[in-house]
Amino acid sequence: MHVLIDAGALCVETMIEKGVSAPDVLFLTHPHFDHVSDLDRLANSRMRGIMVQRGARDFEEKEEEECLFRPLTVIGTDDCLNHPLDGVRTRFGYLEGLVRWMPIPGYDLWHSVQGLDGPDDFAGAEYPFHLEFKALPVRHSKHAPGSCLFIFRFRSDELRDRSGEQGKGSLLFRNVVISGDLKSMEDWVIKSPDLRDPACMVLDSNTIKASGKYHASFEENKALIRRWCSGDEEVLVLLNHLSGFGDYRDGNYDHVPDDEDWKAAVEEFVPPPMVTVRIAEDGACFAPPQFD
């Protein structure tokens, strides 16, 4: 199963360049343009890709057509998708049919991708994992209603089969946390046990030191890393959304920090034991130890 988080511009090119298959499910953290601007091209290119890949031209049998051309499932909070002014659906509603909008029914509840009135089977493919997720609200910008972070967890099919009940298999892997854009979180969110010692977490780190209005800095994220990582488990922390402009504006640097500056900042930080912090480079492949 290919799960994509957010669809900002160049994601289609990057996936083609890297030979990554079209996603089955798209999760949206919030409706800002830099996170959704490629949604139209993604939905169209994906359908075109499916047609070419399957050599399908024959639309005669309705059932088969539905199975072959399963729309892209787009999952986001209700406000992220449906907000009357800023919701993604407000701008991309015309993609209905190429995508299937799936608002998340509530925060802090585990949902199963397979069980959310969704892609119960992915036409012919075999997936070894049962994917579950939950959304927790984050503070970002007033023009990004419904901003959230996602926590994913995976259950093994094998165990699920043995228990004989869907979704009741033993937990096999630790959580994966994807922050989306965030400035801060309410206290109850920060305290969520689901954020403790994940296998991997991706954090929005817009600046190195400068405290911005809408995004967390690496400095602020250090506090989160120390809080969430006990030091008893291996955790891979990836920093993304790097800009650094605020560091230049605030005089922390006499230039906008470049790759070397970011690298130096990461190297200076001493995280808790067993925690690795890295910059998420474009197109790079990362695997937490337990996924190797």
| Residues found near Zn ion in the complex (CB under 5 A) | 32, 34, 181
Cβ at position 30, least distance to Zn ion in Å = 6
- Tokens matching residue 148: 């959230």
Cβ at position 56, least distance to Zn ion in Å = 36
CA angle 255, 10, 217 (to 5 degrees): 40
* CB-CB neighbours of 131 under 10 Å: 17
Cβ at position 216, least distance to Zn ion in Å = 12
User: To which residue do tokens 């991706």 refer?
Assistant: 202
Considering beta carbons, is residue 80 or 235 the nearer one to Zn ion? Answer: 80
Considering beta carbons, is residue 32 or 153 the nearer one to Zn ion? Answer: 32
Considering beta carbons, is residue 83 or 155 the nearer one to Zn ion? Answer: 83
Q: Are strands 129-137 and 148-156 parallel, antiparallel or unpaired?
A: antiparallel
CA distance 69 to 51: 8
CA dihedral angle for residue 97, residue 102, residue 103, residue 104, rounded to 10 degrees: -170
User: Which residue from 99, 100, 82 is spatially nearest to 91, judged by alpha carbons?
Assistant: 82
User: Which residue from 138, 158, 120 is spatially nearest to 29, judged by alpha carbons?
Assistant: 138
Considering beta carbons, is residue 1 or 182 the nearer one to Zn ion? Answer: 182
Cβ at position 263, least distance to Zn ion in Å = 22
Cβ at position 35, least distance to Zn ion in Å = 6
Burial of 125 (0-12, 13-18, 19+ CB in 10 A): exposed
Considering beta carbons, is residue 47 or 239 the nearer one to Zn ion? Answer: 239
Collapsed DSSP state (helix, strand, coil) of residue 13: helix
Cβ atoms of 217 and 262 closer than 8 Å: no
Considering beta carbons, is residue 7 or 195 the nearer one to Zn ion? Answer: 7
The DSSP H or E segment spanning 131 is strand 129-137
CA distance 7 to 118: 20
Cβ at position 260, least distance to Zn ion in Å = 23
- Tokens matching residue 164: 């004989």
Cβ at position 153, least distance to Zn ion in Å = 25
Considering beta carbons, is residue 160 or 215 the nearer one to Zn ion? Answer: 215
Cβ at position 141, least distance to Zn ion in Å = 6
Q: Which amino acid is at 129?
A: F
Considering beta carbons, is residue 21 or 184 the nearer one to Zn ion? Answer: 184
